[in-house]
Structure 1
């Protein structure tokens, strides 16, 4: 009988103090994907996933992430596509919170392409490289031409036309203001 009670006590303590807990399933929204490079979004964090061609194991996938603070995703897209028009003389270096990313431009078969080079944890020893991507592939990754690009584009604020502003000011000036009653001030004794 003691052995049975001891067995139940051990079973109960194992289940009560288990080290596995169930976490929420994090949902990533895919912005765009081309071959082995993809852009994903979760809340305000954007993540690039790519197959690392710098390793001998072709099943190695790497990623780098950053927050879209001031339209950084739009600025990154513009930076990349501007490099297709006017190829920089060297690599463009970007510092992220955890990694350093270089944009390496090269012409392949006469067509400008870009490659992401990632220095993992800002360490020059650990390097990941994506495949070379052309402008059409970059557009697909950033969701250009689809409704998914609206997930990161800056909201365009339209200025109020000058004619409407002055008309509103004239209308306000013509409206008579109602005077407020004056409140008497109390004299203080010293």
Structure 2
């Protein structure tokens, strides 16, 4: 009698394991529909990536404030009526100005800035993305991106 009770216990454990395995195999995984994933990679490190989910456009970038942590900062905006193209054009317009101010977007948590980098006064060569908190303290910033990288990130 004791053998049959042990056998029954072992059989129950096996059946339980099979049921759990079967359920795990058939659990559907819902992936968000991301369109146009673009990555800017240097030395096998992703410096930035952008994608669009439905009508939300997102740019993620490697935070250079603490690069050893390899953490990413990001910001998103609703791409309504070609807003991504408008942002891209406004950023490019800054390249043509002698001393452009950063392009700033305010958020409830602070601000996102596209800050221009100069090769020499009046010669803008790159842009970096930077995020500031409400007290205007720098929280994250990207590597410098040239026009080609910006075009890739915005998918233009």
TM-score range, shorter chain: 0.5 to 0.7
Structure 1, residues 21-72: CA drift from partner, whole Å, max 9, x if none?
Answer: 9752213223533231222000000100100001142411111111112321
With the length of structure 2 as denominator, give the TM-score of the two structures.
0.67
Task: Report matched runs for 1:1-190 at 5 Å.
Answer: 24-35=30-41, 36-86=47-97, 87-89=99-101, 91-96=102-107, 99-108=110-119, 112-119=125-132, 122=134, 124-125=136-137, 127-144=139-156
Aligned residues: 141
TM-score under structure 1 normalisation?
0.57
Stretches of structure 1 lacking an aligned partner (at least 5 in a row):
1-11, 16-20, 145-190
Kindly indicate which of the two structures has a greater share of residues assigned to strand. 2
CA distance in 2, matches of 1:126, 1:85: 26
Q: CA RMSD in A?
A: 3.6
Larger Rg: 1
Task: List gaps (5 residues or longer) in structure 2.
Answer: 1-15, 21-26, 42-46
Contact 2:116 2:124 in 1 (8 A): no
